[in-house]
């Protein structure tokens, strides 16, 4: 399993669905591959994906219909060339998964069965009960093990930074073996960032503790532009106490939303699609009900899954039966459960083309860390798993082809010196500064207060001030564990730095976009303004560590922007 270290054609940072799919594609293309993950690969956050994955496979469905729904869902900010690629290639990807062993749900006739999902004009979400991510991740991991001769797995290794050569090309990364604290340089001809999202920038969040935006910050630090960072998705159905997700699959199966007066309020906001309007629309409707006093006193509204036949819930939604019982004390097959919108997904990320290439030669990105941009202002449910697989595969293929053209770099062993000095400095901090966890909590609560479903200039300004102060405080945040073995304390301090970097770019982009589109609803600019803002906001470092804003055009192929109603 562990072959030679540390030179490979393709180095993949992250072993969720995007990373594993990229590794398999690169290996199939003949490249030697290293795949690194800070947790065991099947604990990557893709394992939490519940509801399903979209593809236009049905006899009555077309990729154009899927693409239009995605464009509309994105509030016309998604790049239509990339959306076309994703939707065109989706059916083959689902069939490929099925052939390698993913046990997708089948209808009584034996055909692959679908469920409805938000913002879609057809039921085109393929699923494995409500453990779709887990099912796919485990099957891909089996395939990775089958490729042990060409894919070296580095499990529980933490990437601290990307390495560049004198010409600025990405030539590898510095990584720390979490088990013993050893630092290594990993040389590679091509590097693919597949390190997932940044949900922990918010509190609460549906995302796991490991989703700390590492790759987004690492790319930003070497000068790669980030795009659409203001677009943070609030999922309509999360538990108030802890942010746990109740999958959209519940509404797909027929669950209804009610306010505290018992009104099915979505009739007022999205008379055609009701609960299955796109997520930004449903979350905004819920938050409006809550803000205007029609929610429950604890700031929630209710999701009634008893509308779904009990037998079906027990079969197709069994994970949320468990979540309801264990974390809310509610039997969702017999009574409504209280929910509210919660931070869930980042549409923005490291800017790439449809082959995963960033503007930094040799550096690719795929999955939630990346912004292709197929989700634009708002991602449709079940389009993210698809994004990870399509663009993971395409990145793997392209990175492998590039590797055939360039010589193997060889960064000096001293490339780890700066990292070692930084880590030593963290370990040497005297007690007395704030704790990492305190800073992280203040960050998450600030973002959830000011950079959430509704935003305005005043709140964003306050958020920016807090983030800048926390960046300073993080410089002295002390850690208790000074050891080398599984020192999660020191990794937590490094991750905090990534999160603060990502948070600042989110806030700056949200301040910049003076209109309302998708997940960015500015109460001080409540209309979508295509004349001025039908463009991407790119954020990059301008040398002095402050985010620098520029714009790039939205690619429109066949769908001109229209008014968006559901
Ligand atoms: C609760 C939940 C349910 C969801 N359900 C669905 C759904 O039904 N359908 C859908 O389409 N989408 C869903 N999503 C979204 C989707 O699951 C994610 O966007 C997607 O799985 C992200 O995959 P990824 O491969 O990009 O990243 P991840 O799966 O998050 O993997 C990231 C990898 O990077 C590694 N990593 C990170 N930082 C470092 C570092 N510094 N060093 C080394 N390794 C590192 C991690 O260890 C991990 O292996 C859901 C999301 C959540 C939170």
- DSSP annotation string for 421-463: HHHHHHHTPPBTB-BHHHHHHHHHHHHHHHSSSEE-HHHHHHH
Predicted confidence band of residue 3 (pLDDT cuts 50, 70, 90): very low
Same domain, 297 and 224: no
Alpha carbons 474 and 436: distance in angstroms, whole number: 7
For the CA atoms of 199, 65, 386, 203, the dihedral, rounded to the nearest 10 degrees, stands at 10
Ligand 1 lining (C-beta closer than 6 Å) = 13-19, 36-39, 41, 44-46, 48-53, 132-133, 158-159, 194-197, 206-207, 210-211, 214, 245, 345, 367-369, 382-385, 388
Helix H or strand E segment including 537: strand 535-541
Q: Mean per-residue pLDDT for 63-76?
A: 98
Tell whether the model's pLDDT for residue 4 goes beyond 60: no
Render pLDDT for 517-563 as a digit per residue (tens, 0 to 9). Answer: 999 999 999 999 999 999 999 999 977 778 999 999 999 999 999 99
Using an 8 Å Cβ cutoff, are 461 and 508 in contact?
no
Rounded to 10 degrees, what is the CA torsion of 362, 367, 373, 379?
Answer: -170
Average pLDDT for 452-468:
98
Tell which atom from ligand 1 comes closest to the C-alpha of 344: 53
Residue nearest to atom 13 of ligand 1 (CA): 49
Mean pLDDT of 175-199: 97
Both 314 and 367 in one domain: the answer is: no
Over 70: is that where the pLDDT of 259 sits?
yes
- On whether residue 278 sits in a domain, the answer given is yes
Question: Which of 384, 490, 492 to probe ligand 1 with, by most ligand atoms within 8 A of CB?
Answer: 384
Q: Is residue 338 part of a domain?
A: yes
- Co-location of 31 and 110 in the same domain: yes
Q: Is residue 547 part of a domain?
A: no
pLDDT in tens, 130-166: 999 999 999 999 999 999 999 999 999 999 999 999 9
Tens of pLDDT, residue by residue over 202-253, are 999 999 999 999 999 999 999 999 999 999 999 999 998 899 999 999 999 9
Hey, what long-range contacts does 95-99 have (CB within 8 A, 24 or more apart)?
Answer: 95/57, 97/136, 97/139, 97/389
Q: Are residues 352 and 339 in the same domain?
A: no
Half-sphere exposure of residue 102, counting CA atoms within 13 Å on the CB side?
Answer: 26
What is the per-residue pLDDT for 443? 98
Q: Is residue 419 in some structural domain?
A: yes
Do the Cβ atoms of 388 and 367 come closer than 8 Å? Answer: yes
Is 279 labeled as catalytic in the residue annotation?
yes
The residue nearest atom 20 of ligand 1, judged by CA position, is 46
293, pLDDT greater than 90: yes
On the question of pLDDT at 463 being above 70, the answer is yes
Number of compact structural domains in the chain: 3
Averaged over 104-128, what is the pLDDT? 93
Whose alpha carbon is nearest atom 10 of ligand 1? 382
138 shares its domain with 204? yes
Write down the catalytic residue from 43, 279, 379, 541.
279
Report CA(368)–ligand 1 centroid distance (Å): 7
Is residue 516 pLDDT above 70, yes or no? yes
Distance CA(471)–CA(464), nearest Å, equals 11
CA-366 nearest atom, ligand 1 = 26
Sorted by sequence, the CB contacts under 8 Å of residue 543 that are 6+ apart come out as none
Same domain, 165 and 29: yes
pTM over 0.95: yes
- Same domain flag for 274 and 333: yes
433 pLDDT higher than 90 = no
Q: How far apart are CA 304 and CA 116, in angstroms?
A: 17
Q: What pLDDT sits at residue 5?
A: 59
Determine the average pLDDT of the residues in 20-29: 98
Q: Which of 300, 326, 344 is the last residue of a domain?
A: 344
Domain membership of residue 458 (yes or no) is yes
Mean pLDDT of all residues in the chain? 96
Q: Which ligand 1 atom is nearest residue 218's CA?
A: 41
Same domain flag for 340 and 351: no
Domain span holding position 257: 236-344
Q: Report which ligand 1 atom has the smallest distance to the Cα of 18.
A: 25
Same domain (yes/no): 57, 93: yes
Give the mean model confidence (pLDDT) for residues 401-421.
Answer: 93
Q: Which of 28, 27, 23 is nearest to 12 (CA)?
A: 23
3-class DSSP assignment, residue 158: strand
pLDDT at 2: 45
Residue 256 lies in a domain: yes
Q: Would you say residue 533 lies in a domain?
A: no
Q: How much is the pLDDT for 425?
A: 96
In a domain, 561, yes or no: no
Residue 152: strand, helix, or coil: strand
Residue 542: the pLDDT is 77
Q: Are residues 205 and 325 in the same domain?
A: no
**CATH number for the domain that contains residue 176:** 3.50.50.60
- Confidence class for position 53, pLDDT limits 50, 70, 90: very high
Examine the domain organization and report whether 440 and 328 are in the same domain: no
pLDDT band at 1 (very low <50, low <70, confident <90, very high): very low
Given pLDDT bands bounded at 50, 70 and 90, which one contains residue 503?
very high
Question: Residue 462 belongs to a domain with what CATH number?
Answer: 1.20.58.100
How many angstroms does the Cα of residue 135 sit away from the middle of ligand 1? 14
Q: How far is the CA of 379 from the centre of ligand 1 (A)?
A: 15
Do 160 and 263 fall within a single domain?
Answer: no
| Domain CATH code at residue 299 | 3.90.700.10
pLDDT tens for 325-381 read 999 999 999 999 999 999 999 999 999 999 999 999 999 999 999 999 999 999 999
Mean pLDDT of 428-453: 96
Q: Whose CA is nearest to atom 2 of ligand 1?
A: 49
């Amino acid at each position: 399993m562990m072959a030679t270290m540390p030179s490979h054609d393709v180095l993949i940072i992250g072993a969720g669905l995007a990373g594993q799919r990229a590794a398999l594609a690169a290996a199939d293309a003949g490249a030697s591959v290293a795949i690194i993950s800070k947790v065991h690969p099947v604990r990557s956050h893709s394992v939490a994906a519940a509801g399903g994955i979209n593809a236009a496979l049905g006899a009555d469905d077309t990729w154009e219909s899927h693409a239009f729904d995605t464009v509309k869902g994105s509030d016309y900010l998604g790049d239509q060339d990339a959306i076309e690629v994703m939707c065109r290639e989706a059916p083959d990807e689902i069939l490929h998964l099925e052939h390698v062993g993913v046990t997708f749900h089948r209808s009584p006739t034996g055909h692959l069965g679908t469920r409805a999902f938000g913002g879609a004009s057809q039921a085109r979400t393929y699923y494995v009960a409500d453990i779709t991510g887990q099912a796919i991740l485990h099957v891909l991991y089996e395939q990775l093990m089958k490729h042990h001769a060409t894919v070296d797995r580095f499990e529980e290794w933490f990437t601290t930074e990307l390495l560049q050569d004198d010409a600025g090309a990405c030539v590898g990364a510095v990584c720390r073996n979490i088990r013993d604290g050893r630092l290594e340089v990993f040389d590679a001809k091509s590097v693919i960032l597949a390190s997932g999202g940044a949900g922990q920038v918010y509190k609460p969040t549906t995302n796991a503790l490991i989703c700390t935006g590492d790759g987004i910050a690492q790319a930003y630090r070497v000068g790669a532009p980030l795009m659409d960072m203001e677009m943070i998705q609030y999922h309509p159905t999360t538990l108030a106490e802890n942010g746990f997700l109740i999958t959209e699959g519940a509404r797909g199966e027929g669950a209804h939303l009610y306010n505290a007066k018992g009104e099915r309020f979505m009739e007022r906001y999205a008379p055609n699609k009701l609960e299955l309007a796109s997520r930004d629309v449903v979350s905004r409707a819920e938050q409006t009900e809550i803000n205007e006093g029609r929610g429950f006193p604890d700031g929630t509204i209710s999701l009634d899954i008893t509308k779904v036949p009990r037998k079906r819930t027990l079969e197709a939604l069994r994970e949320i039966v468990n979540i309801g019982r264990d974390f809310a004390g509610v039997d969702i097959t017999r009574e409504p459960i209280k929910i509210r919108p919660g931070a869930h997904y980042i549409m923005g990320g490291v800017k790439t083309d449809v082959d995963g290439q960033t503007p930094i030669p040799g550096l690719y990105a795929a999955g939630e860390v990346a912004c292709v941009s197929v989700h634009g202002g708002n991602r449709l449910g079940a389009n993210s798993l698809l994004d990870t697989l399509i663009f993971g595969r395409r990145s793997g293929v392209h990175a492998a082809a590039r590797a055939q053209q360039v010589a193997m770099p060889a960064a000096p062993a001293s490339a780890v010196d700066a990292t070692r000095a930084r880590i030593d400095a963290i370990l040497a901090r005297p007690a007395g500064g704030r704790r990492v966890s305190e800073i992280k909590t203040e960050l998450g609560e600030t973002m959830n207060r000011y950079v959430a479903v509704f935003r305005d200039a005043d709140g964003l300004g306050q958020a920016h001030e807090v983030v800048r102060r926390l960046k300073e405080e993080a410089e002295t945040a002390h850690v208790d564990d000074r050891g080398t073995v599984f020192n999660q304390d020191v990794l937590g301090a490094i991750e905090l730095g990534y999160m603060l970097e990502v948070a600042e770019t989110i806030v700056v982009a949200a301040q910049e976009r003076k209109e309302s589109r998708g997940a960015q609803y500015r109460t001080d600019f409540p209309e979508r303004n295509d004349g001025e803002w039908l463009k991407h906001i790119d954020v990059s470092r301008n040398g002095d560590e402050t985010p620098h804003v520029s714009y790039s055009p939205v690619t429109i192929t066949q769908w001109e922007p229209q008014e968006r109603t559901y």
